[in-house]
Structure 1
């Protein structure tokens, strides 16, 4: 297996340089990224958010999709969703508006389908970036390029995409159930 650990800056370059498709499997109930701390606090307090903190990502997604490249993710949601995941349902609308295909799969369904319990990106169906976290904060990425291993992740990608629902539909259904 070919692998190495990349710090954040080098991983960011992978996110900019993919050629056709970048797909994320996101399965933690909560992420504690420093850039999200204040926006999350504002959301919890019912204060408005101009999404300035998210603008670089949204611009990157919009540029990629304008160039014909796909940026997508499936988020695994607990039942009921964590407070962080509820926040992501609100914030995620901006991701979708920027062109990102964001979908949701419940944790019980993901387990039943045999999908992994670790986060990763799949780039151009040729490289996998396993994401490592410490105390719910991003700590680095391990790159896998071994064809056999990458095939396993591609299969997981296909299964997840087949069973996940679009974020906005999940959000609409969840809000409807909570009324």
Structure 2
């Protein structure tokens, strides 16, 4: 097992990257979301839009206004899990803040050979790979600038981005659970 660091040790990268912060998100759900206030709002049917006071939204807005890109491809089951439906709803605020979130069904991701782990790629230079337990809790992150690992992350980004669908269009295609 590689050396894992707490995620908090790499959060500075979200403010110091030069041009692009890109994420592949593959989990069917995240333990931290299940206990969040935002999740409770979602369950009550509240809209989860842009909140300029939310630290993530404020930073995304600041960075994108400076000409930087925040991008994400979210892998979604068909039909989406309840946790994924929450992420689709809560992601709208991120999109309003300036993040470009796209979605790809899991079957297609597997067809294209995308990995089964989450990671952030900063400036095509630093790869931060998440390690999760079976419940979706983050165990830590592995940080590397090793050229082969970063190149693989860049290749995954290109394939995922090419096939993924913008959030608004994807949501219009998601089948209702009713």
> Structure 2 length normalisation: TM-score?
0.89
Cα pair distance change 1:105/1:138, threshold 3 Å:
same
SS of 2:21 mapped into structure 1: strand
For structure 2, which runs of at least 5 residues remain unmatched after alignment?
Answer: none
Aligned residue number for residue 141 of structure 1: 141
Aligned residues: 176
Residue of structure 2 equivalent to 1:127: 126
Higher helix content, 1 or 2: 1
> Matched residues in 2 for 1:94 and 1:47: separation?
12
Structure 1 unaligned runs (5+)? none
Partner of 2:152: 152
Instruction: Quote the offset at 1:119 in angstroms.
Output: 0.4
Misfit runs of 4+, over 3 Å: 47-52
From the superposition, tell whether residues 11 and 35 of structure 1 become closer, same or farther in structure 2 (CA, over 3 Å).
farther
Q: CA RMSD in A?
A: 2.4
TM-score (norm 1): 0.88
Q: Greater shift after overlay, 10-19 or 29-38?
A: 29-38
Q: Aligned equivalents of 1:166 and 1:49: distance in 2? A: 18
1:48 CA displacement: 5.9
Which residue number corresponds to residue 169 of structure 1? Answer: 169
8 Å CA contact 2:49–2:90 kept in 1: the answer is no
Instruction: Give the equivalent residue in structure 2 for 1:117.
Output: 116
Matches within 5 A, 1:13-92: 13-33=12-32, 37-47=36-46, 55-92=54-91
Structure 1 residues 161 and 51: CA distance shift in structure 2, 3 A: closer
1:47: how far off?
A: 4.8
How far off its partner does 1:35 sit? 8.3
Q: Tell me the SS of whatever aligns to 1:152.
A: helix
Which residue matches 1:12? 11
What's the offset of the Cα at 1:38? Answer: 2.7
Q: Name the SS for the 2:162 alignment partner.
A: helix
